[in-house]
Structure 1
Amino acid sequence: MGDAFCSDCKKHTEVVFDHSAGDTVCSECGLVLESHSIDETSEWRTFANESGDNDPVRVGGPTNPLLTDGGLSTVIAKPNGASGEFLSSSLGRWQNRGSNPDRGLIMAFKTIATMSERLGLVATIKDRANEIYKKVEDQKSSRGRNQDALLAACLYIACRQEDKPRTVKEICSVANGATKKEIGRAKEYIVKHLGLEAGQSVEMGTIHAGDFMRRFCSNLGMSNHTVKAATEAVKTSEQFDIRRSPISIAAAVIYIITQLSDDKKLLRDISLATGVAEGTIRNSYKDLYPHVSKIIPAWYANKEDLKNLCSP
């Protein structure tokens, strides 16, 4: 996509834009130069009339196939002078006061869009969450449930299906007060009911520890050297039967890697950055410890270095 100055390479290098994560990455060393970039797409260009009359453009927003009329409802308005501004007329206000059958969907989609923006998610994930919510809404069986939890669960499932998973804690942070427990229940409800409708299980996508590594390392401000080692280590760990969640393994690998570096991270800080409890990280470390000689890259730490790790 172009080039930019990389602080680790100390030169201008070619960069790659990860559209799913919103990250700008150095192609030579893998350093994240910019994270959570907004995915900007082309918009319609409009040209105002030089005479001062209203802008003659006749195109509105993009159609939305999930809405009854594609989202192309007519809004009645009256011009306000020659500045091109519009004020809703009384008739227009009456028209918009609850007559739109998709009003509930539109509000839900706006909430999903806000949550997506706060998490730095791209449009494909947001659109998938909208589709999931529309299917749930069509069943008319979700009434009485926590709406914020339901929308957050749709976004969680969408991230999984788009192979860019987020932790429940990350989703919870933008869920307007919905708790992890409520989001978890909503997720199970969606998976169950949509699965029954389709006659098959809802595909959730497989989570790997590596899916979270770059983001967690970025949260901790780790150097490119340690990020590279952690990424390799977590990938190698998949060869072993470590019966822990991918998120827990990622957190434990980060703990090991940082303990072998000059920039050691406290267990408390790793817990805050990953959302994994300190006790869970300790238990995962205990499971990984017997395999550290094979998991940790040899270029990062030798056998003597590994002996300095605390025995669990």
Structure 2
Amino acid sequence: MTSAYPNEYDIRCDLDACQTYPIITDSERGEMFCGGCGSVLVQRMEDAAYGERGHSWEEFSSRSRTGPGTSLAMNDRGLSTMIGRNVDSSGNALSGRTRQTFNRLRVWDQRSRSRSVSNLGKALIQLNAMGIKLGVPEPAVEKAAYIYRKAVGEKLTRGRTVSSLIAASLYAACRESGIPRTLDDMARVSNVERRILSRDLRTMLRKLGMSLTQYDTSSFITKIANNLGLKEKTKRDAVDLLRRAEEIKITAGKNPVAQAAAALYIACMNNGEGISQKSFSREAGVSDVTVRNRATFLKKNLGL
């Protein structure tokens, strides 16, 4: 099928005699050629047209000409071949002999998968489940899958649990993406002791040659404040306190979560919100003494 193509891409023939002729598009061959001399101007043109419109998810899925995008968070990256069940492409039932043949093919397809591929699939399922529980966005989960694949390639799974390495990979991805999630959060959702998780994280970072960036302390303020239902003014005051503390360089080497909790505690007292130190320590995952000491330290150095 050919049609006159509106010259939106500034494609034209070089011959002066052809300047008045339209550009013809052959959608079947994927070519654009001059309507005057017939010279082919574009070859292997991509079809940018949309498929048929669907008014429901079922119609859209059945009429769509493309599948989901590839992702490292899938063991086959979303490019697996599925052997269907008992019907052909037209929806007609298969004969008995053909069904037996495809059943054997399906069994051998399952058996032909190596143990490492099977273990990787189970690990990535667990990774996606942890990401959902912690509310981690999909790009960070995919980055965690990439880190875990590198760890598997370095044979770090020997002597270590899959849950611990998955949690360590997700924590490293959150650190690189600036998503405020602590080791305690990872240990809770993965059912791994924090001590073991911290040890495996250090080993993984050393073997893979990774270095994690420091968390922005203010990123934990929003998380803690939202959980406690604090006012927006309290959040802004706490961010301002941390900014002043960073300017005089008294935040280095301190627990960022504890500093965020202490800044929020001071801001709450200044704004008349009666939230106890116990509440802040529970949300931050630190002790009451830590929150109190951090708050005293900030008050002393900021002249409050």
**What TM-score do the two structures reach when normalised by structure 1?**
0.67
Aligned mates of 2:64, 2:109 — CA distance in 1 = 22
Q: Which aligned pairs between 1:1-312 and structure 2 lie closer than 5 A? A: 55=62, 59-64=66-71, 70-79=77-86, 90-91=103-104, 93-101=106-114, 102-175=117-190, 177-195=191-209, 202-240=210-248, 241-242=250-251, 243-293=253-303
Amino acid at match of 2:134: L
Q: Cα gap change, 1:119/1:98 in structure 2, threshold over 3 Å: closer, same or farther?
A: farther
Aligned mates of 2:156, 2:273 — CA distance in 1 = 52
Aligned mates of 1:110, 1:67 — CA distance in 2 = 8
**Root mean square deviation, CA, Å:** 3.4
Aligned mates of 2:72, 2:282 — CA distance in 1 = 40
Of stretches 222-231 and 104-113 in structure 1, the one that deviates more from structure 2 is: 104-113
> Helix, strand or coil for the counterpart of 2:271?
coil
**Residues 204-229 of structure 1: CA deviation (Å, up to 9, x unaligned):** 11222112111111111101111111
**Residues 220-255 of structure 1: CA deviation (Å, up to 9, x unaligned):** 110111111111112211123245222221111111
Aligned mates of 2:301, 2:52 — CA distance in 1 = 58
Matched residue, 1:19: none
Contact 2:220 2:257 in 1 (8 A): yes
**Residues 173-192 of structure 1: CA deviation (Å, up to 9, x unaligned):** 321x1121121111111101
Contact 1:153 1:183 in 2 (8 A): yes
Measured after TM superposition, the shift of residue 136 of structure 1 is 0.3
User: Higher Cα Rg: structure 1 or 2?
Assistant: 2
Aligned mates of 1:258, 1:250 — CA distance in 2 = 12
Aligned mates of 1:45, 1:186 — CA distance in 2 = 51
Aligned mates of 1:158, 1:192 — CA distance in 2 = 15
Q: Cα gap change, 1:99/1:62 in structure 2, threshold over 3 Å: closer, same or farther?
A: farther
Aligned mates of 1:255, 1:69 — CA distance in 2 = 48
Q: Cα gap change, 1:219/1:56 in structure 2, threshold over 3 Å: closer, same or farther?
A: closer
Q: Cα gap change, 1:46/1:73 in structure 2, threshold over 3 Å: closer, same or farther?
A: farther
Matched residue, 2:5: none
Amino acid at match of 1:115: M
Aligned mates of 1:181, 1:98 — CA distance in 2 = 38
Contact 1:162 1:205 in 2 (8 A): no
Aligned mates of 2:75, 2:225 — CA distance in 1 = 44
Identity of aligned residues (%): 26
Q: Cα gap change, 1:110/1:46 in structure 2, threshold over 3 Å: closer, same or farther?
A: farther
Between the two structures, name the one with larger relative contact order (CA 8 Å, sep ≥ 6).
1
Measured after TM superposition, the shift of residue 55 of structure 1 is 4.5
**Residues 79-129 of structure 1: CA deviation (Å, up to 9, x unaligned):** 469997x9x963354145343342222222221111112211111111110
Measured after TM superposition, the shift of residue 153 of structure 1 is 0.6
Of stretches 178-187 and 162-171 in structure 1, the one that deviates more from structure 2 is: 162-171
Measured after TM superposition, the shift of residue 62 of structure 1 is 2.6
Structure 1 unaligned residues grouped into runs of 5+: 1-43, 196-201, 294-305, 307-312
Aligned mates of 2:229, 2:131 — CA distance in 1 = 23
Aligned mates of 1:259, 1:77 — CA distance in 2 = 64
Measured after TM superposition, the shift of residue 68 of structure 1 is 8.2
Q: Cα gap change, 1:68/1:113 in structure 2, threshold over 3 Å: closer, same or farther?
A: closer
Contact 1:149 1:182 in 2 (8 A): yes
Of stretches 63-72 and 131-140 in structure 1, the one that deviates more from structure 2 is: 63-72
